[in-house]
Amino acid sequence: MAPRITVIGTGYLGATHAAAMAELGFEVLGLDVVPEKIEMLGRGKVPMYEPGLEELLRRHVAGIEGSTGRLRFTTSWEEVGEFGDVHFVCVNTPQKHGEYACDMTYVDAAFSSLAAVLRRPALVVGKSTVPVGSAARLAGLLRELSPAGDEVELAWNPEFLREGFAVRDTLHPDRIVVGVSGEHGEKLLREVYATPVGEGTPFVVTDYPTAELVKTAANSFLATKISFINAMAEVCEAADGDVVKLAEAIGHDERIGRKFLRAGIGFGGGCLPKDIRAFMARAGELGVDQALTFLREVDSINMRRRGHMVELARECLGGSFLGQRVAVLGATFKPDSDDVRDSPALNVAGQIHLQGGQVTVYDPKGMANARGLFPTLGYAPTALEACRGAQVVLHLTEWAEFRELDPAALGEVVAARRILDGRNALDAAAWRDAGWAFRAMGRPQA
């Protein structure tokens, strides 16, 4: 019989994983400690914006007309223990307050609660991003606290999904990495992932520490790539070069590649910034902090971008924000998401507001979350309304909607035709042709 699956923690990762497992044909039970989330998911509603996820969920949630009924949700640990053969732990690991290290409170609590209800053989699979060494410790905890003892096995299976592409990345991952301690775990996971593996997805088997490190290494590499091109943007700006052309030209070299070389106001979100910091903190504990000193630089190049955007805007307004109206297009940390965690766009908006600017923000999906985090900023229901009367427009998250704006129409409502492109995504020539002073990061001023 096919293994029955549980998913613990129903955020981006868990909700998507649970729906994807049901799509692959498994019976799935999802658990979260927040009853409101479980109630919503049980009705086939997704608590965040993620393209395609709600459709996938509704195809499988029990009780929804026409669904397969393979997916259910609960808040009961007992039910999870009784139901599952394979338990995926997908809770988050945020940055600790006032420290670089990551906060393992949720992971530790989930493992303790789960262990207590494991009364028969089971495979527990960690998916959360954790400091290297955690899996070995958690395997011990499971053995110690589970009534089933040695019949409970642990595997570590990091997740590489991107917000905005969560469904596609989960159903068709570019690799599956599993850190295991024995053959049984590998065999079960090969069964769980038989469909993507059958489609050609590489299945990489490692030990625990390597599996944990693969995840942090991958995110560190991505962060480094972005900061590299942003460092080039700084030099381009000083030398009157064009970082967009530079990225295109170096990207033709396959060893470098074109992806993740978009210069602008830098990376944010719930993953890259906190993951590189947690990695540095862990390296320090392991006595190899020098190996990751470069990540400090990656982090500071990245944070400098936000400050630089504020500087460009101030310069554009003749040296001060006082009494000036500033339109901000974009609040989320990237397009096709409603996530505003550590969003560079909101950080820039907030800094300008604190320096006396009258900031009005518009974002296609992130308004509610942005309001929650920065209630004192102004918000408008459309891009056009946000720009009404503005002395300068800042393009800070590259939603498709903003690329489609008509420069002439927008020119009618602003107080001055000035735009700064913080994502190098707008068509400079089209804006300049419509009479706008257009400036982008790391590109020559016309």
Largest Cα–Cα distance in the chain?
Answer: 72
Helix (H, G, I), strand (E, B) or coil at 408: helix
Does 333 help bind ligand UGA (rule: CB under 6 A)? yes
Among 222, 313, 340, 394, binds ligand UGA (CB under 6 A): 222
Both tokens of 297, joined, read 């630089």
Is residue 37 a known part of a binding site?
A: yes
> Taking the complex as a whole, how short is the minimal distance between the CB of residue 386 and ligand UGA, in angstroms?
20
Among 226, 236, 326, 348, binds ligand UGA (CB under 6 A): 226
Is 102 annotated in the active site?
no
> Taking the complex as a whole, how short is the minimal distance between the CB of residue 161 and ligand UGA, in angstroms?
5
Q: Which helix (H) or strand (E) holds 282?
A: helix 272-285
Among 3, 143, 160, 408, binds ligand UGA (CB under 6 A): 160
Scanning residues 107 to 136, which ones bind ligand UGA (CB under 6 A)?
A: 129
Nearest to 163 by CA among 91, 270, 56, 266: 270
Both tokens of 178, joined, read 């599993």
Nearer to ligand UGA, 137 or 162 (CB): 162
Which residue's entry shows tokens 């939603």? 399
Scanning residues 17 to 46, which ones bind ligand UGA (CB under 6 A)?
A: none
CA atoms of 348 and 368, how far apart (whole Å): 18
Nearest to 218 by CA among 197, 204, 198: 204
At residue 125, what are phi and psi to the nearest 5 degrees? -120, 115
**Stretch 254-273: interaction string toward ligand UGA, x if CB under 6 A:** ------xxx-x-xxxx-xx-
Nearer to ligand UGA, 357 or 422 (CB): 422
Nearer to ligand UGA, 163 or 237 (CB): 163
Burial environment of residue 317 by CB neighbours within 10 A (0 to 12, 13 to 18, 19 or more)? buried
Is residue 272 a known part of a binding site?
A: no
**Cα dihedral across residues 258, 264, 269, 275: positive or negative:** positive
Size of the site for ligand UGA (CB under 6 A): 21
CA atoms of 35 and 3, how far apart (whole Å): 26
Among 162, 258, 304, 403, binds ligand UGA (CB under 6 A): 162
> Taking the complex as a whole, how short is the minimal distance between the CB of residue 193 and ligand UGA, in angstroms?
17
Burial environment of residue 80 by CB neighbours within 10 A (0 to 12, 13 to 18, 19 or more)? buried
Nearest to 244 by CA among 228, 232, 227: 232
> Taking the complex as a whole, how short is the minimal distance between the CB of residue 136 and ligand UGA, in angstroms?
21
Please give the sequence-ordered ranges of beta strands (E in DSSP) within 46-111, or none if there are none. 71-74, 86-89
Nearer to ligand UGA, 26 or 267 (CB): 267
Distance of CA 344 to the CA centre of its chain: 13
Which residue's entry shows tokens 């707008």? 426
Does 334 help bind ligand UGA (rule: CB under 6 A)? yes
Burial environment of residue 126 by CB neighbours within 10 A (0 to 12, 13 to 18, 19 or more)? buried
> Taking the complex as a whole, how short is the minimal distance between the CB of residue 275 and ligand UGA, in angstroms?
6
Is residue 418 a known part of a binding site?
A: no
Annotated catalytic residue within 90, 271, 316, 387: 271
162 CB neighbour count, 10 Å cutoff: 15
Segment interacting with ligand UGA, rule: CB under 6 A, options 71-79, 145-153, 156-164, 428-436 = 156-164
Scanning residues 352 to 371, which ones bind ligand UGA (CB under 6 A)?
A: none
Is residue 127 a known part of a binding site?
A: no
Is residue 268 a known part of a binding site?
A: yes
Q: Which residues are annotated as a binding site for NAD(+)?
A: 32, 37, 93, 129, 163, 274, 341
Q: So which residues are the catalytic ones?
A: 271
Task: Tell me which residues touch ligand UGA (CB under 6 A).
Answer: 129, 159-163, 219, 222, 226, 260-262, 264, 266-269, 271-272, 333-334
Q: Which residues are annotated as a binding site?
A: 32, 37, 93, 129, 160-163, 215, 260-264, 268, 274, 334, 341
